[in-house]
Structure 1
Amino acid sequence: MSMEPMRADARDNRARILEVAEEVFGRGGSAASTEEVARLAGVGIATVFRHFPTKRALLEAVLVKHFDGLCGRAQSLAESADAGQAFFDFFSRLVDDAAGKLAIVEAFTDAGGDAAGRAAQGPRDLRKAVGVLLGRAQDAGAVRADVGLDEVYALLVGVSRASAHLRLDEPVRARALGIIFDGLAPGGDERTSRLP
């Protein structure tokens, strides 16, 4: 493989292909095609395959980009003056994003994606980023201190999957998040005494 830097037009094409692919596969999952990506990106299919020799390689790059974007967003929110708002906003963003992300993951898996490859690091990094936001929100007194990342992540994954699979409309999703956020608020600690 050549170590020459990528030309600017090639870099632009690659970035455009990834951006379009994220949208196409996020909407269409496994049914979406690289041909549709090429058409919407305004490039030939050969250009797509020059950058990404297989559909699996394209989907892996899309997942890496997607998780990098989410982690970058979480890192910028970690600098926010209102740690509680940052945590709850990011939690909501992940739920809103769930259907597209799950469609891309499904397409990647169907294309023979490797759960131990580069794309597997993204979910681990995202979990850590949520942990940082949770810790800051707890330190600020915006989230009850007796919940850990495991419980919060279970809630996040559960409501994200429900939102995606049940295709919850916005009012239902907002009410479900409100219930979860009320449960995470300080002052709810006495509820745990009734848990097994």
Structure 2
Amino acid sequence: MNSTRPLRADARRNYERLLAEAHTAFAESGVDASLEEIARRAGVGIGTLYRHFPTREALLVALLGERFDAQARTAEELLEDRDPLAALRTFARSLLDAATTFRGLADATADALDDETSDLHAACAGMRAAVARLVARAQESGQLRADLKPDEVLLMVHAAGWAGEHAGDPDRLLDLVFTGLRSR
């Protein structure tokens, strides 16, 4: 939502209907689903959709922001795991599941990693920081390549998700990635 003021009851209903219809449309057609169709299904005009969500990314963040926060909490909890590489791998599998919620989401979130002006980039800040700690811990243990950057891990997970959408098994691809990430 754009405003810090509480929404009127009708505006709140519109907001909730838009989120519900966006979830349905993204599940059916991927993140490139028609925003006009989402508005139509929600029973509002496209202007109402844009008042609540000025960009497609803003709509995605509203839909997935809680999931991104949960991913950050998962990463933080995994810092307690005795095996740092297993913890990073567990997180990566969890992230892969999240990144493939909607067709095209892995691609959209991977694009946002380098775009500091992106709504998705900002929404993932907590998760990115937690991943950096997981990577550092696995590197300090000697299990993970020392030259690996945290954002590279995120990109590889999203790449496995993207590839899995188009051809292949994303879990297998992730296993192959982690085999290559081990320190020598």
SS in 2 for 1:189: coil
How far apart are the structure 2 equivalents of 1:76 and 1:7? 32
Q: TM-score, normalised by structure 2?
A: 0.64
- Call closer, same or farther: CA 1:2–1:70 in 2, change over 3 Å: closer
Instruction: Tell me the residue number matched to 2:183.
Output: 189
Query: Aligned ranges for residues 29-40 of structure 1 at < 5 Å?
Result: 29-36=31-38, 38-39=40-41
Instruction: Tell me the residue number matched to 2:12.
Output: 11
> What do you get for the CA RMSD once the two structures are aligned?
3.9
How far apart are the structure 2 equivalents of 1:154 and 1:117? 16
- Call closer, same or farther: CA 1:72–1:66 in 2, change over 3 Å: same
Q: Which amino acid aligns with 2:153?
A: V
Q: Which amino acid aligns with 1:182?
A: T
Q: CA deviation at 1:63?
A: 2.5
Q: Is the 8 A contact 2:92 2:157 kept in 1?
A: yes
When the two structures are aligned, how many residues end up with a matched partner?
171
Q: Which amino acid aligns with 2:172?
A: R
Instruction: Tell me the residue number matched to 1:79.
Output: 77
Gaps of 5+ in 1: 191-196
Instruction: Tell me the residue number matched to 1:45.
Output: 44
Q: Is the 8 A contact 2:69 2:126 kept in 1?
A: no
Q: Which amino acid aligns with 1:92?
A: R
Higher Rg:
1
- Call closer, same or farther: CA 1:96–1:144 in 2, change over 3 Å: same
Instruction: Tell me the residue number matched to 2:161.
Output: 160
Q: TM-score, normalised by structure 1?
A: 0.61
Q: Is the 8 A contact 2:21 2:38 kept in 1?
A: no
Q: Is the 8 A contact 2:157 2:174 kept in 1?
A: no
The alignment status of 1:173 with 2:170, answered yes or no, reads yes
Identity %, equivalent residues: 26
Q: Which amino acid aligns with 1:163?
A: G
